[in-house]
Structure 1
Amino acid sequence: MPAMMFAAIRHASRSGTSALRAAPRVAPVARGFRPTPFNRTLITKKYTEDHEAVIYDDQTKIGTVTITDYAQSSLGDVVYVELPQTGTEIEKGDQIGAVESVKAASDIFAPVSGTVEQINETLNDQPGLLNKSPEEKGWLCKIKVSNPSELDELMTEEEYKKHCESDH
């Protein structure tokens, strides 16, 4: 077997090509793909004093409104969620819904101004998602933000943590 390999190498070197030198591999480019080097999305998460959070995507201008994990643990088992109507124009600070639990009821306030684009219909049948996954599967609504500068008035995660510690 090694004799055959050496014969192939000798033959390749005599013919001026090298069997050992492989052609450089180039990754295939997806059809229709055009790289856009400056196409960047910034996702920002901000918090309110009332324990709502908004996860804002600067490319789509959509803010996903949630209650915080701190809020859901304070409420206890959530049994009912009231959400705003799709298409509703809201102002920052407006009441946009309510959460009822075995312990208490709490209003939900808009962290930003805009138009309600979508609501989490799953919460109608599964309000407990607010306890299991308040900031992911238990999101409340998505708002097309009309004034992104309002986000600057909300708390960062570090500021929110300090706020929660002072609540105790």
Structure 2
Amino acid sequence: MAKALIVSDSHGLREELLVLKKRYENEVELMIHCGDSELQTNSKELEGFVTVLGNMDYLGQEFPKEAIEMLGTKCIYITHGHLYDVKMSHLSLAYRAEETGASIVCFGHSHIAETYEREGMIFINPGSIRLPRGTFEKTYAILEAVGSEVSVIFYSLDGERIDHLTKRYTV
């Protein structure tokens, strides 16, 4: 089983990122930050994370606008989402992810925790560990991939599983 920790929109939080890193350091192969960390690119809190540039990342202008990572056999496209107007529609994001050959898309920006499948592609927004929208819970996600089975499990910042957001896919 291949696993990834996915966070986004931490907006300056430091200790919380360190806690999540320590909680999952021996459980995941990949740690993803979907932008708006508001930290510098060389900050110890982001060490080990694949981090992309968010619209509020003025200190970390060197972050890439997008990243492509492999988790087992799954290709993951990572971006913040502001460049694709994800608060309006996910269509442009879907087109870009398709261009990269990704089967999983990780993004942030809206602060809304969600996951869904569209035409064989899985979309994951882990929400925000600082300023959630659509829920009171500060959230992050764990992606688990085994063969054609993919699970997206959401957790509150304190580590409690959020079952109503969690989904399993076969792709």
TM bin (shorter chain): under 0.3
Q: Which structure carries more strand by proportion? A: 2
TM-score, normalised via structure 1 length = 0.23
TM-score, normalised via structure 2 length = 0.23
The structure with the largest alpha-carbon Rg is 1
Q: Which structure carries more helix by proportion? A: 1
